[in-house]
């Protein structure tokens, strides 16, 4: 018999000039498995207010989703962000997307993948959890979309 418990939440707030709306659903299956779905709409987020540092002055507006499953020895997480007209310090951009994927295949193998249309940045790490790797990452500021940086063990 499959036993499952669910927990839902929804929060909406306006703080300073920003508005925030976040919904979540957590499912607890048996004793060793959990899944989650989180979505949100963030408008006019100023990181300088949050971090109390004017160098992070921003006006960020985006939608996001985060989904994942967590088992006894495996894990899979994915986050997507869709930015609308926003600014970060002096940089303005009309729209952009960012994706992060983290996957633990077993107790030894893991993958972290990050892609973004902002500045053409992307990277992927494949690593063994029990070993230490050195990687070289170079930020691609050419403005080309879809560039990737691969980082692997040395």
85-119 residue pLDDT tens: 999 888 888 888 989 998 887 767 788 888 888 76
Q: Which two tokens stand for residue 143?
A: 């403005």
**Using 50, 70 and 90 to split pLDDT, how confident is the model at 63?**
very high
Q: Give the alpha-carbon dihedral of 60, 20, 41, 79, to 10 degrees.
A: 80
- Residue 30 has what DSSP assignment? T
Q: Which of 125, 109, 35, 101 is nearest to 73 (CA)?
A: 109
Q: Percent of the chain having pLDDT more than 70?
A: 73
| Residue 35 scores a pLDDT above 90 | yes
pLDDT at 125: 62
Q: Which two tokens stand for residue 131?
A: 């070993």
Q: 50 phi and psi, to 5 degrees?
A: -70, -45
- Using the Cα atoms of residue 59, residue 88, residue 47 and residue 122 in order, give the sign of their dihedral: positive
Q: Which two tokens stand for residue 117?
A: 């249309």
| Residue 122 scores a pLDDT above 70 | no
Residue extents of the structural domains in the chain: 1-97, 105-154
| Residue 37 scores a pLDDT above 80 | yes
- CB of 114 closer than 8 Å to CB of 133: no
Could you read off the pLDDT of 11-31 as tens digits, one per residue? 999 988 889 999 999 999 877
């Amino acid at each position: 018999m499959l036993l499952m418990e669910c927990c839902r939440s929804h929060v909406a707030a306006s703080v300073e000039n920003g508005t925030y709306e976040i919904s979540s659903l957590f499912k607890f299956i048996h004793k060793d498995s959990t899944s989650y779905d989180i979505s949100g709409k963030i408008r006019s987020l100023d990181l300088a207010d949050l971090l109390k540092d004017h160098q992070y002055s921003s006006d960020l507006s985006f939608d996001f989703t985060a989904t994942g499953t967590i088992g006894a020895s495996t894990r899979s997480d994915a986050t997507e962000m869709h930015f609308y007209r926003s600014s970060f310090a002096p940089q303005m951009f009309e729209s952009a997307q960012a994706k992060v994927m983290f996957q633990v295949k077993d107790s030894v193998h893991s993958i972290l993948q990050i892609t973004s249309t902002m500045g053409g940045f992307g990277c992927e790490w494949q690593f063994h959890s029990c070993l230490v790797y050195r990687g070289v990452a170079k930020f691609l500021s050419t403005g080309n979309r879809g560039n990737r940086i691969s980082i692997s063990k040395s």
